[in-house]
A and B are shown apart, each in its own frame.
Chain A
């Protein structure tokens, strides 16, 4: 033996193994373990699925009560046929895990404040935010409630959980999903709590906007003063076309919330003091706030308006566009029901879909169900706080955050009468300004939401639908439905706070109970309409009612105005409607806002005073056909001009704050331009010797916009799709795993509400004929594996505004369908 060469060679070999088996730091991210990652037998190559993979399988599961047959169609949609309901959910869990494991695991880790565990200390502020908001607390409340009061739902979620885990237990290490290999961690067993955490995350996504909006609005009011604030952030929407038609009569309210006598001085017009902590505030970024435009369209037309004489229902929830998609299509057929639609990987049953009697869809209600209360702690120990004239003890909730390559971080959260003290001496962000703030949020109460979907999956008629949604608390939704028997209806349902006007728009005083919620509006008083005269029901996140509804709905800025106008305008004039007409409407690009705003701009514009480039751009805008089409330049020009004019009008008032302020809504400016040419806000307050008006500001805005537009023109980015650059982002935001720069039109205020990374996340149209005729798709694919041809195979079709015919058949017919591809058989032992 040659000792020296051996030792040298051995050490080099060990060294190379070590390097190839280590995650190296590259900037702020870490590389995969390169040797492992590249290994064709263990690494990412194992995820490079054969394009003609045969998904046939025979599986044995002793958890099952009977046998289950799953047929996968040509789009990899499973059609589950089970003899027992619980078996169907077991298999749904198994299939969710088989095709979407990483995503389910990742999303629930985010929801429960466990991102640092896999991504390191970088993500700590996000984890701390979710813990302090009460995400884990809320999921625990729901779990405890369901375990003690609801044996059917417990059995359902347990069966689902067992299905996920049955897949996990047979999963060989080399077959782990791609992302685990890339980021070097492993999945853990599923639990019912993870299902509830996932649903908590949906509550956050759809109502959590208030968690940042309430702070920002308070800061904006403090900066501007209440008088100026109320001019710029008016709740008056002149052109509102509410979900429940104007003129509907509402019953007398059973709760009449009383505004505290000192509310004007101590709350509304209150100017908050600056930071009072004698410690330096810790500035945490927290997660990105949920998208303000998390909204949706849904509608149903009665048989009187359709060609077939049967209702048609349409639903397209607008959410962040991600890969793997939030949605997973499935058919579930058991002796009790047969249902098809989009499900959430992470939760049993179908969320938006139809069964053989009824179809349903949802849009976000947008009502404010999250409030902040400012609390006064006795001392820095935060063991007592001042409430109703005495020091009251808090309970401390301990949350341990594990951090990759670092020590655990322990959150001691003070639980008050209101809820968790999210911001205090230990946790602040730029907007909380050193205040001690407790958060009161309906999502932190136990939820029965999972049963709503369970019941909707089985609903046969209007009464079943009303019963199913009566269990729904958070996030508040507009549930639309249509039945084969010819009924259509829509109801806004959730736990909504009976508020006095402006209650909870800003941070509220928390030293006594006078600002507390005075009740939850009874379900019977939530706005509902069934079979209206006009022959359709619809919602697009606008205000649910006009001002005759006896409860305060919240700041108007929470309710986008124009999509609803557009939907109703089209539905009113349409007749002899077919599913193809509904497809055209869901993908409609008409810009109803620009239809009013463009003439308003032109009314004030003095074209002769413009530069040559500006004249050219204005011509581009005026020649535009008002459609937000992929290749349109007119919409890009209009958008940038409008934004520049708005900036010219109120940029001066909002300038100079060291905090980000809420931008006023476009309708505020437009309504003023339409009726009042001398709006005081138009004056530039920085020019003391001159009084500017709309004419000045429109010309200034156009010139400013022209500079940007000419620059865009040089980059060849004036065409709408190129400017907007719609993308469907992988959950890690890695571009290679995402689909960038999609050729698609649409945008804000458009029925086809596709913006940069947000839009119609599931388009569904259901024609309630004897044999249901349904169409749908989502921008993704049934497989979560980036190495599968089924990863993103719907995206091009989706971008082109096309639809798939959904296969919803009884077992005998499905087996014989020429779209049936594979058979997975589950046998009990």
Chain B
């Protein structure tokens, strides 16, 4: 239960700070850190919470946007990056980049509270 609450809270806060384009794109690092302090978990557990929360948020948002856009832009960007024009790979990459950083942020936070 605590895990699910943490994941949801991380994702919610990350989404909230993401709305403001004037804040840096990595603001969720701070919110994930904060959640990891407030709801302490074991280190590895924290990493997974951070990883899943941002991974699901970014991946989910990307999927919704991409569906609405019928893959027009994702296909182009997936050629530039280069991911062989695969919008699926681009969504996976997006999700992974967010997840990795989210996980690291939560991991870092977990070390603050642990005795």
Which of A42, A786, A787 is in CB contact (< 8 Å) with B21?
A: A42
A341-352 interface mask toward B, CB cutoff 8 Å, 1 = contact, 0 = none?
000000000000
CA distance A38 to B100 in the complex (A): 13
CA distance A523 to B59 in the complex (A): 65
Which of B79, B94, B114 is in CB contact (< 8 Å) with A38?
A: B94
Q: Is the CB of B112 within 8 A of A41?
A: no
The answer to whether the Cβ of A51 comes within 8 Å of any Cβ in the partner chain is: yes
CA distance A175 to B20 in the complex (A): 11
The answer to whether the Cβ of A12 comes within 8 Å of any Cβ in the partner chain is: yes
Q: How far is the CB of A99 from chain B (nearest CB, A)?
A: 16
Q: Is the CB of B94 within 8 A of A2?
A: no
Whether A35 contacts B26 in the complex (CB less than 8 A), given A48-B65, A175-B21, comes out as yes
The answer to whether the Cβ of B58 comes within 8 Å of any Cβ in the partner chain is: yes
Q: Is the CB of A16 within 8 A of B100?
A: yes
Q: Is the CB of B101 within 8 A of A35?
A: yes
CB-contacts of A10-40 with B (<8 A) = 10, 12-13, 16-17, 20-21, 34-36, 38-40
Q: Which of A191-199, A501-509, A732-740 contacts B (4 or more CB under 8 A)?
A: A732-740
Q: Is the CB of A39 within 8 A of B43?
A: no
B87-99 interface mask toward A, CB cutoff 8 Å, 1 = contact, 0 = none?
0000001100110
Q: Is the CB of A51 within 8 A of B69?
A: yes
B40-74 interface mask toward A, CB cutoff 8 Å, 1 = contact, 0 = none?
00010000000000000110011001101110111
The answer to whether the Cβ of B31 comes within 8 Å of any Cβ in the partner chain is: no
Inter-chain contacts of B15 with A (CB < 8 A): 41
Which of A1, A6, A45 is in CB contact (< 8 Å) with B62?
A: A45
Which of A6, A13, A51, A174 is in CB contact (< 8 Å) with B112?
A: A6
The answer to whether the Cβ of B108 comes within 8 Å of any Cβ in the partner chain is: yes
Q: How far is the CB of A708 from chain B (nearest CB, A)?
A: 31
Q: Is the CB of B61 within 8 A of A13?
A: no
The answer to whether the Cβ of A151 comes within 8 Å of any Cβ in the partner chain is: no
The answer to whether the Cβ of A113 comes within 8 Å of any Cβ in the partner chain is: no
Q: How far is the CB of A549 from chain B (nearest CB, A)?
A: 51
Q: How far is the CB of B95 from chain A (nearest CB, A)?
A: 9
Q: Is the CB of A16 within 8 A of B104?
A: yes
The answer to whether the Cβ of A94 comes within 8 Å of any Cβ in the partner chain is: no
Q: Is the CB of B68 within 8 A of A9?
A: no
Q: Is the CB of A16 within 8 A of B101?
A: yes
The answer to whether the Cβ of A178 comes within 8 Å of any Cβ in the partner chain is: yes
CA distance A35 to B102 in the complex (A): 12
Q: How far is the CB of B33 from chain A (nearest CB, A)?
A: 8
Whether A9 contacts B108 in the complex (CB less than 8 A), given A38-B97, A42-B18, A172-B21, comes out as yes
Q: Is the CB of A736 within 8 A of B114?
A: no
Inter-chain contacts of B101 with A (CB < 8 A): 13, 16-17, 20, 35
CA distance A51 to B67 in the complex (A): 9
Number of interface residues of A (CB under 8 A): 45
Which of B25, B105, B111 is in CB contact (< 8 Å) with A42?
A: B25
Nearest-neighbor residue (CB-CB) of B59 within chain A: A40
Q: How far is the CB of B37 from chain A (nearest CB, A)?
A: 10
Which of A13, A38, A48 is in CB contact (< 8 Å) with B93?
A: A38
The answer to whether the Cβ of A335 comes within 8 Å of any Cβ in the partner chain is: no
CA distance A786 to B77 in the complex (A): 10
Q: What is the interface of chain B mostly: helix, strand, loop, or mixed?
A: helix
Q: Is the CB of B94 within 8 A of A13?
A: no
The answer to whether the Cβ of B80 comes within 8 Å of any Cβ in the partner chain is: yes
The answer to whether the Cβ of B19 comes within 8 Å of any Cβ in the partner chain is: yes
Q: Is the CB of B79 within 8 A of A41?
A: no
Nearest-neighbor residue (CB-CB) of A18 within chain B: B26
Q: Is the CB of A10 within 8 A of B73?
A: no
Q: Is the CB of B114 within 8 A of A2?
A: yes
CA distance A41 to B57 in the complex (A): 10
Q: Is the CB of B61 within 8 A of A735?
A: no
Inter-chain contacts of B29 with A (CB < 8 A): 13, 17
Inter-chain contacts of A182 with B (CB < 8 A): 80
Nearest-neighbor residue (CB-CB) of B108 within chain A: A9
The answer to whether the Cβ of A789 comes within 8 Å of any Cβ in the partner chain is: yes
Nearest-neighbor residue (CB-CB) of B77 within chain A: A44
Whether A40 contacts B58 in the complex (CB less than 8 A), given A1-B111, A1-B113, A13-B101, comes out as yes
Inter-chain contacts of B69 with A (CB < 8 A): 48-51, 787
CA distance A494 to B71 in the complex (A): 48
Q: Is the CB of B76 within 8 A of A9?
A: no
Q: How far is the CB of B91 from chain A (nearest CB, A)?
A: 9
CA distance A13 to B19 in the complex (A): 22
Which of A39, A50, A736, A791 is in CB contact (< 8 Å) with B18?
A: A39
Q: Is the CB of B26 within 8 A of A21?
A: yes
CA distance A173 to B58 in the complex (A): 19
Inter-chain contacts of A174 with B (CB < 8 A): 21
Inter-chain contacts of A5 with B (CB < 8 A): 43, 111
The answer to whether the Cβ of A47 comes within 8 Å of any Cβ in the partner chain is: yes
Inter-chain contacts of A36 with B (CB < 8 A): 25
Inter-chain contacts of B10 with A (CB < 8 A): none
Q: How far is the CB of A602 from chain B (nearest CB, A)?
A: 46
Q: How far is the CB of B113 from chain A (nearest CB, A)?
A: 7
A171-205 interface mask toward B, CB cutoff 8 Å, 1 = contact, 0 = none?
01111001000100000000000000000000000
Inter-chain contacts of B79 with A (CB < 8 A): 735-736
CA distance A262 to B76 in the complex (A): 61
Which of B19, B76, B100 is in CB contact (< 8 Å) with A786?
A: B76
The answer to whether the Cβ of A383 comes within 8 Å of any Cβ in the partner chain is: no
The answer to whether the Cβ of A779 comes within 8 Å of any Cβ in the partner chain is: no
Q: Is the CB of B58 within 8 A of A12?
A: no
Q: Is the CB of B26 within 8 A of A48?
A: no
Inter-chain contacts of B100 with A (CB < 8 A): 16
- Most A C-beta atoms less than 10 A away, residue of B21, B68, B97: B21
The answer to whether the Cβ of A788 comes within 8 Å of any Cβ in the partner chain is: yes
CA distance A42 to B107 in the complex (A): 24
Which of B58, B72, B111 is in CB contact (< 8 Å) with A9?
A: B111
The answer to whether the Cβ of A43 comes within 8 Å of any Cβ in the partner chain is: yes
Inter-chain contacts of B26 with A (CB < 8 A): 17, 20-21, 35
Nearest-neighbor residue (CB-CB) of A17 within chain B: B26
CA distance A182 to B79 in the complex (A): 13
CA distance A7 to B67 in the complex (A): 41
CA distance A403 to B95 in the complex (A): 35
Q: Is the CB of A48 within 8 A of B74?
A: yes
Whether A45 contacts B80 in the complex (CB less than 8 A), given A9-B108, A787-B72, comes out as no
Q: Is the CB of A13 within 8 A of B18?
A: no
Inter-chain contacts of A48 with B (CB < 8 A): 65-66, 68-69, 72-74
- Most A C-beta atoms less than 10 A away, residue of B43, B79, B94: B94
Inter-chain contacts of A172 with B (CB < 8 A): 21
Q: How far is the CB of A798 from chain B (nearest CB, A)?
A: 19
Q: Is the CB of A734 within 8 A of B61?
A: no
CA distance A48 to B19 in the complex (A): 16
Which of B25, B72, B80, B97 is in CB contact (< 8 Å) with A789?
A: B72
Q: How far is the CB of B112 from chain A (nearest CB, A)?
A: 5
Q: How far is the CB of A29 from chain B (nearest CB, A)?
A: 10
A721-735 interface mask toward B, CB cutoff 8 Å, 1 = contact, 0 = none?
000000000000011
Pairs A–B under 8 Å by Cβ, sample size 23: A1-B113, A2-B111, A6-B112, A13-B101, A13-B108, A16-B100, A38-B94, A39-B25, A40-B18, A40-B57, A41-B19, A46-B65, A49-B69, A49-B73, A50-B69, A52-B68, A174-B21, A735-B79, A736-B80, A736-B85, A737-B76, A786-B72, A787-B69
Q: Which 10 A-B pairs have the closest CB atoms?
A: A787-B73, A174-B21, A41-B18, A173-B21, A6-B111, A40-B61, A736-B79, A48-B69, A48-B73, A39-B25
B residues apposed to A, CB below 8 Å: 15, 18-19, 21-22, 24-26, 29, 43, 57-58, 61-62, 65-66, 68-70, 72-74, 76-77, 79-80, 85, 93-94, 97-98, 100-101, 104-105, 107-108, 111-115
A residues apposed to B, CB below 8 Å: 1-2, 5-6, 9-10, 12-13, 16-17, 20-21, 34-36, 38-52, 172-175, 178, 182, 734-737, 786-789, 791
Q: A35-B26, A41-B18, A45-B73 are in contact. List 10 more A-B contacts (CB 8 A).
A: A1-B112, A21-B24, A39-B98, A40-B57, A40-B65, A45-B66, A45-B94, A52-B68, A178-B73, A789-B72
